[in-house]
Structure 1
Amino acid sequence: MNIFLREMKANRKSLIIWCISLFILTAIGMAKYAGFAESGDLVNQMMESMPQVLKTIWGIGTINLTEIKGYYSVLFVYFVLMATIHASMLGAIIISKEERDKTSEFLLTKPTTRVRIVTSKLLASLVNILIFNIATLVFSMMLVNYYNKGESINKEIIILMIAMFILQLLFMTIGTALGAISKKTKTATSNAMAILLGTYILSVYIDMNDKVEILKYITPFKYFQAKDLIFGVGFNTGYVILSFVIIGVLLASTYKFYLKRDICI
């Protein structure tokens, strides 16, 4: 419990900054929606004239941006990127930071096991990403309902937040596994960011080229897309199972490599 509380306190300031940034992003995004809604068909005509590459990169596609549900589904892409970056960095740093901060002695000289250390750190990471997710949910509902003049989309927002939480878990465990493998925090975070950006770019490339659609199983960003969750068939059971299998493997790897790790005191 002491290690869990220590990690929560250590990450408290960072979490507050992330949540403030999230609120600003949500507020700016929804403020723009007011202008989009007033412009009506003019916005959609402008979007249709844009190159397909730009529409794919921005996550616009064929979605109607003058409707709140369509607009929020595009905004959700940015929430996911922000949430997964936070989760992967948190996972990598929280596992590997002891040698960087010269605090290995604080942990390893206490009457506790490495399994308990990892478990406490994972629980602290879980609580942090859960708080981030709930903050996204609250800010979204609050601001969407403020600007929305039509039917409520609270149900759709909840569905998207569930999907985002699974992605947060996935990238958090990628970070923790890399943090357990690497002795340097900088290396762990750099590798975690490289994987995140690489898989996101791959998801965009798949959207632009149907011939490489088979690669969609490699990138988690294709598992939970807003257009499928709220405009399509909802959650794909296969992707959900695959996500939790990957999370399980990464958690096992985190414990395995951390237990074998040569930590210098």
Structure 2
Amino acid sequence: MTPSIKSVFTAFTEEGQGELSAALGYALSLAQQAGAHLTIQAAAMRYTVPASVVGDFGAAFVNSENARITALAERFAQVAKTSADLAGVNSTIETPELVYAELSDRLLAQARVHDLSIIDQEQDAAERDRGLIEAALFSSGRPVIIVPPGSETFSAKRLLIAWDGSAPAARTVAEARAFLPGAEVEILSVTGEKELSRLIPGAELAPHLARHGAAVTVRNVALSGASSVAGVIREAAADFGADLIVCGAYKHSRLREWLLGGVTHSLLQSTPLPLLMSR
């Protein structure tokens, strides 16, 4: 890995369930290998309900729940700080208490001043969780790695690049340059699907990646039957033995995704590997 990654950001939001975070371990591992500074945001989501609506008893319950959530977030922050110290990673820990409307603003403010953001995948994401992931992807202007459960160690020895020649794909490939030296890379192009039609062949991208020190192969797969582009990407990643998928992020209307699905939406819902995306 080249020393171009100097600052890494990972965000965790405590909502009251004492959630676990694979992204924290992954971010610590990456920061340790890169010699980068790690900022950890362990936010406590606060609930606000007017006493005039729920009464004194309801207001007391909300206050008690907020205090419990804050304690959980602070406990997570303490574990994160100890883990960073043991790993020899310079870190900054913050534990803001925020209502939902403030969460995305705080996340974006941090993401925009770091080289890379690392966030947990939300397989059964509620609308609020999905909104935070989409904010990082489409509004931060910085690359994001989405980490599925169980992926707590960073590795970028074998990269699968989902390539369609589009601007988002090119942007994400550029953001992956830090991982190219010494890596094995497979460029995957899926044909026969309008959303990922090849504008520039993967063979034209290969020399560019090779100049950055990667060993590159090119693979073209025709979409057939009931298979989906996201499914082809997942299968190709498994066949290649990839440890990181690199893919541009595409945003469609919620109606279109509900009716037809979308590559970005499908991968975010079910990715077997850490997923580097950018817009």
Q: Which has the higher contact order (CA 8 A, sep 6+)?
A: 1
Q: TM-score range by the shorter chain?
A: under 0.3
TM-score for the superposition, normalised by structure 1: 0.25
Q: Which has the higher strand share?
A: 2
